[in-house]
Each structure stands twice: as structure tokens, then as C-alpha cells.
Amino acid sequence: MEKTITYFEEPGIENTDALIGLVKDRLEGSDIKYVAIASSTGESALKLNEALKGMDVTIVNCSHHVGFKEPNKAQIDDETRAKLEAEGIVTFVGSHALSGVGKSISKKFGGATPVEIIAATYRTICQGFKVCAEISIMLADAGLIPVGEEIIAIGGTGHGVDTAVVMTAANMTNVFDMKFHEVIAMPRP
């Protein structure tokens, strides 16, 4: 098997359209039925949906937990979430699998939890790679993507998306069963 990986010179939102095009190309002729995307505001998920219209694939969006930036506030607004739902895209809003309460403990008392070390290890590849791992755990635990089946996971650095992988998700209780099969695209570290 021979595959091509696209490397972006810089991470960030400027790679979003190109990345979505690469994901569409990878899906054509494949058996992959699920695409998980990290889109805190829903904007990238809407772009992905537009590009994949007519393809037999389920898109699942993952946003930050309520209170991520400010108390009692979600980053995805009700209008955008309704647009996504009208298109058949579920948006999961919940705690980060690779930080969660552990990050709060580290902020308060210092040190790092084992889960934060796992997240930091994924970040050595790139931030988007960590995001792909994290959202796949979160969405699998919510029952929104399958375990034991290849999916495409899309993540990014800050705003927009710049990383896509073909992977098999795992639930939190079996996190080391997670497998990364292909890198479609990522920014160079």
C-alpha cells in the first residue's frame, strides 16, 4: 500500500479548506463511514458537511465543554448547533478526555497527571494529532462513533483544522486499544 501525507508548513486555520479537500479525497472509494471533527464553534464542521454532501458518511462534531473559556458559556452557539443538527450532524459538548479534572488538579497543586503526560506525548507529533485522539475517545464514550472500525478524525491547532488521520477509536476504559493507521495531513512540528 502506498499513501501520500500532506504536510502543512504552519499549523492553523489557513489549512482548513485544503484539509477538508484531502479528507474528501481519502473518503472516495473507501469503506469509512464516520468522520469525527473537532469544531468548537461549528464553523469547520459546517464546511466539512458542505464538502461531503452526497457521500455516505456520518459526520460527528466535538466542541469544548461549557465553561472552557468563560463560566456557563458554550463556544458553539445555539444557531450553529441547530444548523448542524438540521444537516444530521450531532455535536457533542463535554469534558476533554485527555485533561478533564486532572488539568484542574495540576493548575491548583502543580505537577502533571498521567493523562496529561499522554496528551503531551501526542502533542510531540502535533496539536491536531492530540485533538484527533482526544475527540475519538470522547465521541466513542458518548456512543457517537464506533469502536473497532476505522474512522477519520480531524483536529486542529487553535482555530480551524489542520490534521486528519485514519484511526480506530477506543473507549476511555481501553484507551491503549486506540490505533492510528494513516496520517492524511498534519502541520510540520
Q: Are 84 and 122 in contact (CB under 8 A)?
A: no
The residues spanned by each domain of the chain are 6-64+73-187
Q: What is the pLDDT of residues 13-37, one digit of tens each?
A: 999 999 999 999 999 999 999 999 9
Among the four given CATH numbers 3.30.342.10, 3.40.1380.20, 3.30.565.10, 2.40.50.140, the one describing domain 6-64+73-187: 3.40.1380.20
Tell if the pTM clears 0.95, that is, is over it.
no
Report the half-sphere exposure of 14 (CA within 13 A, side-chain side). 6
Whose CA is closest to 153, among 186, 177, 131, 121?
131
Report pLDDT digits (tens) over 147-180: 999 999 999 998 899 999 999 999 999 999 999 9
